[in-house]
A and B are shown apart, each in its own frame.
Chain A
Amino acid sequence: MVPLNYFLILAAILFSIGVIGFVMKRNVITMFMSIELMLNSVNLTFVAFSRYIQNLSGQIFVFFVMVIAAAEAAVGLAIIVALYRNRESLNVDEADRMKL
């Protein structure tokens, strides 16, 4: 049986990679993917704790995080499409005004 620590360390590494990607990338789509990566690593922590504490609430939380991720992806990608339509660019440095 794999100890709980290993799952937590894996989740920590994935989360950090997501943070690096979010800060380093300037392309808004890749930044979005980094957010998905971070959400996934948190989900992994939830499931691991749910298994080791013998409580199903952790898995329910993962379920809700997935709902949030889906809603976020739908709205966020719609914003990306609107941004691209107005600015012809996906660089976040160029999207610094809310007005056109």
Chain B
Amino acid sequence: MMTFDQILFYALAVIAVLSAIMVITRRNPVHSALFLITTLFCVAGIYLQLHAEFLAAVQVIVYVGGIMVLFLFVIMLVNLETLSQERRFNRQWHIAILVSVVLLVEFGTIIWRGKAALQLPANQPLMDTLTTNNSEQLGVVLYQQYMLPFEIASFLLLVAIIGAVILAKRRLSSDGK
């Protein structure tokens, strides 16, 4: 008899994998983007199952609300006619299958060999969940132990903003305008 936890996990995992397959098989990039959003939502659900509530919220806000909307904007900026003429399978699919089979065998071996070591207890909460929640715990760790990386990350975002603006700026024409 499967518990509710397991049923939820299987449902989310199956939807995530199926829509991930749809992402790479659809020819129209808008469809790919929408299926990727489905995958991201399912992964957010799995985060919730793992008691990472803050990350689940950030996943939906940043990935779905930010990054995927940016993707859709760019897809609409470029010409969709040229995009949809791509062939679904090209001559590189042999390499793709080979690489992924090698990767899957590798992952499988590692997980199989480490099966005994991976039997970790999962019942006890991270800290006292009655007085603190996940966001609070994460905030304490982030702003105390990981303060410098946090500042560096903010600087990286600044660099990315400037780089994106410079790259996407319409090129000033060379005849002096």
Chain A interface residues (CB < 8 Å from chain B): 1-10, 12-21, 23-27, 29-30, 32-34, 36-37, 40, 43-44, 47-48, 50-54, 56-57, 59-60, 62-64, 66-75, 77-82, 84-85, 88-91
Output the nearest chain A residue to B134 by Cβ-Cβ distance: A59
Which residue, of B6, B100, B145, B161, has the highest number of chain A Cβ atoms within 10 A? B100
Q: With A19-B103, A66-B62, A75-B164 in contact, is A2–B49 under 8 Å at CB?
A: yes
Contact B122 A63 (CB under 8 A): no
What 1/0 mask marks residues of chain B from 3 to 37 whose CB sits below 8 Å from any chain A CB? 10110010001001100110110000100110010
- The 5 tightest CB contacts between A and B, nearest first, are A21-B24, A71-B160, A12-B107, A78-B167, A23-B96
A-B contacts, CB under 8 A, total: 231
A62-B55 contact given A37-B23, A47-B50, CB 8 Å threshold = yes
Q: Is the pair A60, B167 in contact by a Cβ cutoff of 8 Å?
A: no
Q: Is the CB of B92 within 8 A of A80?
A: no
* Binary A-proximity of B108-145 (CB < 8 A = 1, otherwise 0): 10010001001111111010000000000110011001
Q: Is the CB of A57 within 8 A of B122?
A: no
Across the interface, do B160 and A74 meet the contact criterion of CB distance under 8 Å? yes
Q: Size band of the B side of the interface?
A: 35 or more
Smallest beta-carbon distance B62→chain A, Å: 6
Given known pairs A25-B24, A52-B122, A88-B82, the reply for A67 and B58 (CB within 8 Å) is no
Residues on B with C-beta less than 8 A from A74 are 70, 160-161, 163-164
* Known contacts A1-B123, A34-B24, A48-B50, A12 near B104 by CB under 8 Å: yes
Closest Cβ of chain A: how far from B127's Cβ, in Å?
8
Q: Is B90 a contact of A26 with CB atoms below 8 Å?
A: yes
B120 touches A75 (CB 8 A): no
The reply to whether B70 and A77 form a contact with Cβ atoms under 8 Å apart is yes
Given contact pairs A2-B6, A3-B119, enumerate 13 new A-B contacts (beta carbons under 8 Å): A2-B5, A2-B49, A12-B104, A13-B104, A17-B24, A23-B99, A29-B32, A36-B67, A60-B141, A63-B58, A70-B62, A74-B161, A75-B160
**Would you give 14 A-B contacts (Cβ < 8 Å), ordered by A?**
A9-B111, A14-B16, A16-B103, A19-B96, A19-B99, A24-B93, A32-B71, A34-B24, A51-B126, A59-B138, A70-B157, A80-B74, A81-B168, A89-B82
